[in-house]
Amino acid sequence: MIIFLYGKDTYRMKEKMKEIVEHYKKVHKSGLNLKYFDVFSDFEDNIKQASMFKEKKLAIINDLFSNSEFKERFSEKKKDFLGSEDIILIYQEKDFIKSDSLYKFLKKNIKSQEFELLTGAKLRSWVKKEFEKYNSEINPEALDLLIEYSGNDLWRMNNEIMKLVNYKNKEIINKKDINLLIRSKIETDIFKTVDAIAERNKSKALKLIHKHLEKGDSPLYLFSMINYQFRNLLIVKDFIEKCRPYGVILEKSGLHPYAVKKSYSQSYKFSFQELKKIYQKIFEIDFQIKTGKIEPEAGLDLFIAELG
């Protein structure tokens, strides 16, 4: 069986992928052989190889349409994989051309789900349900303001929801709380920190960060804001590299207009490769923090120190 997940809303898509994995773990109590593949020969060998046990195989292919060699060979044998007793999960984050013959084949013959960016009533409903998951409540005015500030970037929205839930401790969240926590001075200073990084001024960047740490601001939140801003820069820079006008970036990026405005000017201070390298460094340090290998504050210092 093949499952195909794709779309611009990578947050909900990853949540769906987790849901699928957890489902098959529960169903196949004798064992689930879960593997990720980016080389076709490894994938094909895994599917063909009979298991010595009764375990079920779940093969995850990330960004199939961005891997030309994998896509070409998968297309050649696509009909063979339709009858597979194992589960093949294709997870496509990056954009691709929907007139592609493989896409048409997958849409016609397998289970697929597209994750478009949420807007309007659907976005409001999603945010309200997220608060309800934590037995928390937000009033309508505060909900409108939260969406205005965060847009439909659900990665950021999730961070902001968790922050509000922890701050209010099951009390109703109001407009005052949004203004206090979401559009704080930290956000403004993160732009200054990114500017300092662009200027290769590590001492200034460290000084700005430590000013917040000395006041007792959370190093995890500071790091999440740096992560968020460089992710925005990468998104905007990608549009610029493709010669897309500002209006298209506003419409298609899924970012709040305020975030687009700030990121647009900052993105010219970095090359696309520099941004990819920095974002990879953020990913590595974030992993070290989450696995307990380093403390969050040390992670912030390490991030600045290891920049080129």
User: By three-state DSSP, how is residue 107 classified?
Assistant: helix
Paired sense of beta strands 87-92 and 111-115, if any: unpaired
Q: Say what the pLDDT of residue 25 is.
A: 79
Distance CA 17, CA 23 (A): 10
Q: Say what the pLDDT of residue 127 is.
A: 95
Q: Is 103 left (phi over 0), alpha (psi -120 to 50) or beta?
A: alpha
| pTM (predicted TM-score) | 0.58
Strands (E), the chain: 2-7, 32-37, 56-62, 87-92, 111-115
Mean pLDDT of 48-57: 66
Question: Which residue(s) pair with 2 in the sheet?
Answer: 88
Q: Say what the pLDDT of residue 51 is.
A: 56
With bands split at pLDDT 50, 70 and 90, how would you rate the model's confidence at 45? confident
Q: Which two tokens stand for residue 180?
A: 């206090």
Q: Say what the pLDDT of residue 54 is.
A: 63
> Which domains are delineated in the chain?
2-115 (3.40.50.300), 120-181 (1.10.8.60), 185-305 (1.20.272.10)
Q: Say what the pLDDT of residue 187 is.
A: 65
pLDDT in tens, 90-103: 888 888 888 889 89
Taking alpha carbons only, the member of 27, 84, 28, 80 closest to residue 59 is: 84
Mean pLDDT of 20-36: 77
Count of residues for the chain? 308
Q: Say what the pLDDT of residue 31 is.
A: 66
Give helix 140-150 / helix 120-133 axis angle, nearest 10°.
Answer: 110
User: By three-state DSSP, how is residue 96 classified?
Assistant: coil
